[in-house]
Amino acid sequence: MVRKKWLIVANGLLWMAAGMNIVNIGIKSIMAAHSLVWLLSIPVFAIFASMFIKIISKNINRIVSMQGEKAKLYKFLTPKGYMIIAFMMTLGITLRELGKIPESFFAYFYTGLGIALFFSGLWSFIILISRKLY
């Protein structure tokens, strides 16, 4: 059992780590594409960032409203959250391994998605500090 603030920290670190991993793939694809396709990552970022920030905020509110001062660390996500992560990872790996989608798609999509994930993870820390949940 850990204090609930550590669930928020774990949540933020997970989103940031996932974002760094995905943006790394996107940037490698951008370098391979040698074009301005990376500009398409801007709307991808905007769409996903707004969606992820809502998810993060909802999840933090869930954590804060949990009974007691402490909770099991794995409770920083719901079972549904873990299933979504597993599905998204499987989908991403499968799409890349099949080789049917052009590299330029991964260049802009993964870059925008990865940056959105990373900044959404930072949002966890912004909420943690601004609400003085530490």
Over residues 64-103, the pLDDT tens digits come to 999 999 999 999 999 999 999 999 999 999 998 998 988 8
Tell whether the model's pLDDT for residue 29 goes beyond 90: no
Backbone angle region of 68, left / alpha / beta, with phi > 0 → left and psi within -120 to 50 → alpha: left
Estimate the crossing angle of helix 4-33 against helix 103-130, to 10 degrees.
Answer: 150
C-alpha distance from residue 23 to each of 7, 50, 66, 118 (Å): 24, 17, 33, 9
Average pLDDT of the chain to the nearest whole number: 92
pLDDT for 93 equals: 92
pLDDT for 11 equals: 96
pLDDT for 127 equals: 95
Tell whether the model's pLDDT for residue 50 goes beyond 80: yes
pLDDT for 124 equals: 96
- Of the listed ranges 27-31, 40-44, 59-63, 75-79, the one predicted with least confidence: 27-31
pLDDT band for 36, please (50, 70, 90 cuts).
confident
Tell whether the model's pLDDT for residue 56 goes beyond 90: yes
pLDDT for 30 equals: 85
How many CB atoms sit inside 10 A of residue 83's CB?
Answer: 11
The residue to which tokens 């996932």 are assigned: 18
